[in-house]
Amino acid sequence: MADTAAATGYKIVQKETLSDVTKLMVIEAPQVAKKAQAGQFIIIRIDERGERVPLTIADYDKSAGTITLILQEVGKSTMQLGAMNVGDTVASFAGPLGHPTEIKNYGTVVCVGGGVGIAPIYPIARSLKEAGNYVVSIIGARNKSLLFWEEKMKAVSDELHVCTDDGSHGRKCLVTDPLKELLESKRRDVAHIWAIGPAIMMKFVALATKPFNAPTTVSLNSIMIDGTGMCGGCRVPLTEGAQFVCVDGPEFDGHKVDWNSLMSRLQFYKPEEQAAVEAYKHKCNLDIAAEKGGA
């Protein structure tokens, strides 16, 4: 649902820089926060001419009426949002959207977060821990500078494994390595696995868990426009047929996803996305030059 704050916009009440390209923002949206659950997402629009950008909810505070988002500045809209500051407002903030994670006491569960996927895996791990599960969390990134929320993940996990591709922090490995070791050792009977991160990471998590018949849920990040199932842009092929990420997901059985098709669809608008980034950077440079000239 859209929040009732639409008339005045949705205020940014907190901002943190987590890395050169990763920002945390806490936004006032009381009606969204009141109904938010782990696994859901919102669609944000910066201004009246802005792109509708889906972002998974990283945290929520029902009493404060706020939603926490973590974004990587990879496109024009996320760069523009990342440049905003506390006190600024965004034009629209629709949500919570999608089906929430099915939380119950499974037994031993594994939560895998890669890169910015650490953000949405956190509320899932927290909710699973609160439901009485033994939570094993695995988080990873390309390097130490891109890791965040290690302490928050540790606080909601019985075990935490930290990985970096280059070995700059934690263990030098991919997130699939400790996952496979846990499954192979049979040290614990793993009842369910959740994985959120880049599509290629989720694909290989699903490939790693399939031989063990370990139920694996992934949260997909396909291209999305309206978020209501009308446009079909987020269509993802599954073994039983196509579904829409926005209304049927965002979580799906990782063993049923056609990963090659999904990753191909993610590349559809790369030239247009790059052109938009270049145009935005050019405008920013002109604005900086104008300010210096005026000074």
Assign residue 214 the CATH number of its domain. Answer: 3.40.50.80
- In three-state secondary structure terms, 252 is strand
Distance in angstroms (rounded) separating the CA atoms of residues 45 and 72: 16
Q: Residue 12: which CATH number?
A: 2.40.30.10
Contact 188, 225 (CB under 8 A): no
What pLDDT shows up at residue 295? Answer: 58
What pLDDT shows up at residue 8? Answer: 64
What pLDDT shows up at residue 21? Answer: 84
Distance in angstroms (rounded) separating the CA atoms of residues 272 and 284: 18
Torsion 127-130-133-138 (CA) sign: positive
Consecutive sets of 10 residues in the chain, 295 residues long: mean pLDDT of each?
A: 57 92 94 95 90 92 95 89 94 93 97 95 96 98 93 97 94 96 92 96 96 96 82 88 91 95 83 83 78 69
Instruction: Identify whether 123 is part of a domain.
Output: yes
Please check whether residues 166 and 225 belong to one and the same domain: yes
In the numeric block, which tokens belong to residue 10? 């949705």
Please check whether residues 165 and 122 belong to one and the same domain: yes
* Full domain range(s) for residue 188: 108-265
Contact 66, 60 (CB under 8 A): yes
Please check whether residues 132 and 234 belong to one and the same domain: yes
What's the structural domain count of the chain? 2
The residues near 283 (Cβ < 8 Å, ≥ 6 apart) are none
Contact 89, 10 (CB under 8 A): yes
- In three-state secondary structure terms, 184 is helix
